[in-house]
Amino acid sequence: MRSEGTTRPIALHRALVLNARATTTARAVGAVATNSVVTPPASVGALHVAVVHSADGVRFATAAASRTELVERLAEYVRRRAPRTLWPADARYVRSLLIRGELEAAVEVYFGRVGDRWDREWLVTTAIITAEGLADRGATAAVAGG
């Protein structure tokens, strides 16, 4: 078992690429990485989306108008799930992060450790540039996050 505060190497992912003709996404194979809840350029409108996957399907999906709101929703999911899905020491560590208000860190630790005890889960996040954001850019390709 790892000591509190350490994490194993985790997989990276990239955000949604959207243009007028095509949409492609890259999916995380593992857990979220530091700074993985993507942030699009501040000058464009975006919808922030997160989907929690498991071997048997989608466990949780949410969308928010801001990155901060998305992290808050993910932290609530983690708060509910950690006691049942993580080893007790890991669950205590995640709970302590949540109590201290380190929501993004709690989300990252949870997804870095969730498969160690029971079923693996992985998080895919993206920021979709909204129609207003595309109009601001003349419907050219936009890349969020990264």
pLDDT 10s per residue in the chain (146 long)?
333 443 333 332 333 323 222 333 333 333 344 444 555 555 568 899 999 999 999 999 999 999 999 999 999 999 999 999 999 999 999 999 999 999 999 999 999 999 888 889 999 999 988 766 555 555 444 444 43
> Can you read off the two tokens belonging to residue 97?
């992060």
Identify whether 70 is part of a domain: yes
As for how many domains the chain has, the answer is 1
Residue 78: the pLDDT is 97
* Model-wide pTM > 0.85: no
Identify whether 63 is part of a domain: yes
**C-alpha count within 13 angstroms, C-beta hemisphere, residue 72:** 6
Identify whether 4 is part of a domain: no
Residue 5: the pLDDT is 42
DSSP annotation string for 71-94: HHHHHHHHHHHHHHHS-HHHHHHH
Domain ranges, residue 102: 17-137
